[in-house]
């Protein structure tokens, strides 16, 4: 989400981006590289074929300590945090009293503390939300002295393993504290592209040096936010503030898979999170009226965010929330919301672009085969 108000912040890798020819743009209050001289399409394909390095230091990194940290955090999300195994990461959502999604986040259990990564545009709100609701026996520390980078792609593991052989022991959603070239890092085998790869939290003072080492590996190229967006969209992954927000429930957002069984109506720790009554009612009664779906276009014209969707009779039935041309898929890919009666796979809907109605087919997401490493 771009911002233009106020002074823009810089990540610890800003000087490196400029040196590498990054085109810097405002994003969530930061100056961030949208692309490098390679260009968005080639950076996208580089990540699908080899590996790309992304700076995601604008994200919020938070450390929670205290004997009740997991139980306290669980009260704010419809997800099992109490039984999250040590060394594992899980996707979660903060919900509000209406069941709307305040943010989506990643939660890791590091044994004696909980590590939370939240979206850049929401981090001040999320920190305030946690501080107000976790209780006095939970200590919250914002880790604002750390960078965060993602190394993604089918050759990411072989490249990173030269510097940190321990990553070869990890599978998808594993997280470890480890040293890389003498630097204490937090490493998860996860990402936002649909590919195998890692997200690595690095002390700010060491971030540029380590990233230069990563970029020295022949498989890895610097990759910007433009490719990150097309990669995540091909993989069917939501962008907060666009595909999900406070007006959408997890069910409307097609995120029922993320609601843990133990938090559902028949689970051992049913409900207990903000908006639980509405969310659990929607699961039981299947009474939501719109649904996030994948959309595949024809031709080459991308269908962008905000484009309205219509049925054959020219009735408006929804809106596109993200859209681009998918370099790997070779077609326009999009996601958006349609009235539930139009959400079945293979349903044809029509996107109005510059006065023309372009047919799009409701399609399964992800649009590409996800290649997370599960061992």
Question: Following DSSP, what letter does each residue of 329-370 receive, concatenated?
Answer: TTEEEEEEEEEGGG-STT-EEEEEETTEEEEEEEE-S-SS--
Equal CATH topology for 9-58+144-234 and 289-367? no
Percent of the chain with pLDDT over 90: 98
Instruction: For the beta carbon of residue 202, count every other beta carbon within 10 angstroms.
Output: 24
Look at residue 351 and tell me whether its pLDDT is greater than 90.
Answer: yes
Determine whether 371 is exposed, middle or buried from the number of CB atoms within 10 Å of its CB (0-12, 13-18, 19+).
Answer: middle
Look at residue 68 and tell me whether its pLDDT is greater than 70.
Answer: yes
What does the pLDDT average to over 293-310? 96
Distance CA 21, CA 41 (A): 16
The conformation of residue 261, written as its DSSP 8-state character, comes to G
pLDDT at 44: 98
pLDDT at 24: 98
Residue-wise pLDDT for 216-241, tens only, equals 999 999 999 999 999 999 999 999 99
> Domain coordinates of the chain in residue numbers?
9-58+144-234, 289-367
Look at residue 4 and tell me whether its pLDDT is greater than 70.
Answer: no
Average pLDDT over the chain, rounded to an integer: 97
Residue-wise pLDDT for 242-275, tens only, equals 999 999 999 999 999 999 999 999 999 999 999 9
Look at residue 2 and tell me whether its pLDDT is greater than 60.
Answer: no
The answer to whether residues 147 and 60 touch, using CB atoms and an 8 Å cutoff, is: no
The answer to whether residues 176 and 187 touch, using CB atoms and an 8 Å cutoff, is: yes
Tell which CATH classification among 3.30.1360.120, 3.30.420.40, 3.30.360.10, 3.40.630.30 matches the domain 9-58+144-234.
Answer: 3.30.1360.120
pLDDT at 373: 97
Pairing of strands 51-55, 146-152: antiparallel
Look at residue 3 and tell me whether its pLDDT is greater than 50.
Answer: no
pLDDT at 347: 98
Look at residue 192 and tell me whether its pLDDT is greater than 50.
Answer: yes
Spatial strand order of the sheet with 175-180 comes to 175-180, 183-188, 197-203, 146-152, 51-55, 220-222
Nearest to 277 by CA among 93, 133, 103, 97: 97
pLDDT at 17: 98
Tell which CATH classification among 2.40.50.140, 3.30.70.20, 2.60.40.1180, 2.40.30.110 matches the domain 289-367.
Answer: 2.40.30.110
Residue-wise pLDDT for 97-115, tens only, equals 999 999 999 999 999 999 9
CA 300-152-229 angle, 5° bins: 35
pLDDT band at 299 (very low <50, low <70, confident <90, very high): confident
Secondary structure element (H or E) that encloses residue 246, with its range: none
Distance CA 81, CA 76 (A): 10
pLDDT at 176: 98
Distance CA 199, CA 283 (A): 32
pLDDT at 258: 98
pLDDT band at 5 (very low <50, low <70, confident <90, very high): low
Residue-wise pLDDT for 136-185, tens only, equals 999 999 999 999 999 999 999 999 999 999 999 999 999 999 999 999 99
């Amino acid at each position: 989400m771009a911002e233009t108000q106020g002074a823009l912040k810089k990540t610890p890798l800003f000087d490196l981006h400029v040196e590498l020819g990054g085109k810097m743009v405002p994003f969530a209050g930061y100056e961030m590289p949208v692309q490098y001289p390679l260009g968005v399409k080639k950076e996208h394909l580089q990540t699908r074929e080899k590996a790309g390095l992304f700076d995601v230091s604008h994200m919020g990194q938070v450390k929670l300590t205290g004997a009740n940290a997991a139980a306290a955090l669980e009260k704010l999300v419809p997800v099992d945090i109490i039984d999250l195994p040590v060394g594992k990461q899980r996707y979660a959502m903060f919900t509000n009293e209406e069941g709307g999604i305040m943010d989506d986040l990643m939660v890791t259990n590091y044994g004696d503390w909980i590590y939370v990564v939240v979206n850049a545009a929401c981090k001040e709100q999320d920190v305030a939300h946690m501080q107000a609701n976790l209780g006095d026996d939970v200590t919250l520390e914002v880790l604002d002295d750390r960078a965060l980078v993602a190394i993604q792609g089918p050759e990411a593991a072989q490249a990173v393993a030269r510097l940190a052989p321990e990553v070869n022991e990890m599978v998808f959603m594993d997280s470890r504290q480890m040293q890389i070239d003498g630097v204490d890092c937090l490493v998860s085998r996860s990402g936002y592209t649909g590919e195998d790869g890692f997200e690595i939290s690095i002390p700010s003072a060491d971030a540029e040096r380590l990233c230069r080492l990563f970029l020295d590996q022949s498989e890895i190229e610097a990759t910007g936010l433009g490719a990150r967006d097309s990669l995540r969209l091909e993989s069917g992954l939501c962008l907060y503030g666009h595909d999900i927000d406070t007006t959408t429930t997890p069910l409307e957002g097609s995120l029922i898979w993320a609601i843990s069984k133990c938090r559902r109506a028949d689970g051992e720790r049913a409900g207990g999170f903000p908006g639980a009554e509405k969310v659990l009612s929607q699961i039981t009664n299947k009474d939501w009226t719109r649904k996030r779906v994948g959309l595949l276009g024809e031709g080459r014209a991308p269908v962008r965010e905000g484009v309205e969707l219509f049925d054959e009779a020219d009735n408006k039935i929804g809106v596109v929330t993200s859209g681009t041309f998918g370099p790997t898929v070779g077609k326009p890919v999009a996601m958006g919301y349609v009235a539930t009666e139009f959400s079945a796979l293979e349903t044809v809907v029509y996107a109005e672009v510059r006065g023309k109605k372009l047919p799009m087919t409701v399609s399964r997401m992800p649009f590409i085969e996800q290649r997370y490493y599960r061992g």
